[in-house]
A = this chain, B = another copy of it.
Amino acid sequence: MKTMTKKKSTAVLPLNTILAGDCIEAMNSLPEESVDLIFADPPYNLQLKGDLHRPDNSRVDAVDDHWDQFSSFAVYDKFTREWLKAARRLLKPNGAIWVIGSYHNIFRVGASLQDAGYWILNDVVWRKSNPMPNFRGKRFTNAHETMIWASKSEGAKYTFNYEALKALNEGIQMRSDWVLPICNGGERLKDSNGDKAHPTQKPEGLLHRVLVGSTNPGDVVLDPFFGTGTTGAVAKMLGRDWIGIEREEAYREVATRRIASVRKFDREALQVSTSKRAEPRVPFGQLVERGMLRPGETLTSPSGKIAKVRADGTLIGDDVKGSIHQVGAHLEGAPSCNGWTYWHFRREGKTVSIDVLRQQIRAEMTDRPH
């Protein structure tokens, strides 16, 4: 049990449960700034069915009925603005949101996100490896959906596990287009008649990438359009807490059973590749203090520049003094320089990066608890 050290406590959050009812009301019942990530798969239906049908239920009569069209969009926009506002209230200052949609609704969602103060980080295309073809041959195969990833506001320090995503992509930076199959086969949930339990069940692979990339273990993930609970299932596997909101009882039942049968991955398996940025800072002076480098010793750069180490952990070159970074930048005429990878020293006839010494110190630091 955590102690309440923060003003905004998460103690009252209904973690790892599905709330029944309207998502806007449900979100407004939760404490503000309590959620790390929101994943939302809102309804697309502009004038098809459900509660977002056109107010007068009239038929769209081709060409020029602009007002009618606009009124239907206006209803959808109002709904979108309201749930996005409620969602934003729930997000911690450094929280983020993902919304998925198709061309029917994603442009309205994206514009509403921007208007609400969210800051778009990327749009990500889910490129389906096995889409349904366009049977009548009147348009392109609708082979993708669009996700928008946005932070709560401009300048927020959103979570992005860059190295983990790079590892998932076998060493190459993850792109904004993701190739994944649609959800079918054994993963597709069926009802008692053997029909699909939900019309738009998302593949777990999609949520895996979203959650590995933009949350950490222990984070709270909310899904206001929970459906059959893909977000909850993957969150549980990955050791994240989750909250679902779903209006339809049938979906809540399917989701509850589904998530109950999910096992969390081993703790070791949840460890993920991390970047250098996450490692503790080591001042260059420590290498001198510890005798790894001696004052007066000469360092060299790949480009053949030279500087000498001073007792206080600064360098001195021909016409410049300062930190390893400053001297490197000056000698290269560059706006900045990473001195750790720039400078090298000699030992036993070999040239070695000073970063190797930093790694030694870091290894010592993590060996024993302090």
Contacts and interface: CB of A to CB of B under 8 A. Distances in A.
Interface of A: 53, 57, 60, 62-64, 66, 69-70, 73, 93, 102-104, 106-111, 113-115, 117, 120-125, 127, 129-134, 137-144, 146, 148-149, 153-156, 160-165, 167-177, 179-181, 187, 203-205, 208-209, 212, 237-238, 265-266, 268-273, 275, 281, 283-286, 288-291, 294-296, 308-314, 316, 321, 323, 332, 334-337, 364-365, 367, 369-370
A144 B164 contact: no
A176 B140 contact: yes
Given A64-B153, A133-B369, A108 B103 contact: no
A369 B132 contact: yes
Contacts of A370: 133
Given A130-B369, A140-B174, A272-B310, 9 more contacts: A63-B155, A73-B114, A121-B139, A125-B144, A140-B149, A140-B165, A143-B176, A168-B286, A208-B288
24 contacts: A69-B114, A73-B111, A73-B115, A103-B148, A107-B114, A110-B110, A123-B146, A125-B125, A130-B367, A130-B369, A141-B175, A143-B175, A144-B175, A167-B323, A168-B289, A168-B313, A170-B285, A180-B289, A180-B290, A204-B290, A212-B312, A237-B295, A268-B308, A268-B310
B283 A296 contact: no
A296 B265 contact: yes
A162 B286 CA distance: 16
Nearest to A203: B290
A288 to B, nearest CB: 7
Contacts of A62: 153-155
Nearest to A265: B295
Contacts of A296: 265-266, 268-269
A142 B57 contact: no
Contacts of A121: 139
Contacts of A129: 364-365, 367
A343 to B, nearest CB: 14
A336 B136 CA distance: 14
Nearest to A365: B129
A151 B295 CA distance: 28
A333 to B, nearest CB: 9
A316 B132 contact: no
3 closest A-B pairs (Cβ-Cβ)? Answer: A107-B110, A168-B285, A269-B295
A291 B205 contact: yes
A166 B347 CA distance: 28
Given A174-B141, A266-B308, A291 B179 contact: no
Contact of A141 (B106, B130, B176, B288): B176
A122 B145 CA distance: 11
Given A117-B69, A167-B323, A275-B137, A142 B176 contact: yes
A103 B142 CA distance: 19
A266 B295 contact: yes
A237 B275 CA distance: 39
A353 B53 CA distance: 24
Nearest to A148: B103
A312 B122 contact: no
A295 B169 CA distance: 16
A323 B170 contact: yes
The residue in A176, A314, A337 that gathers the most chain B C-beta atoms within 10 A of its C-beta is: A176
B122 A64 contact: no
B309 A269 contact: yes
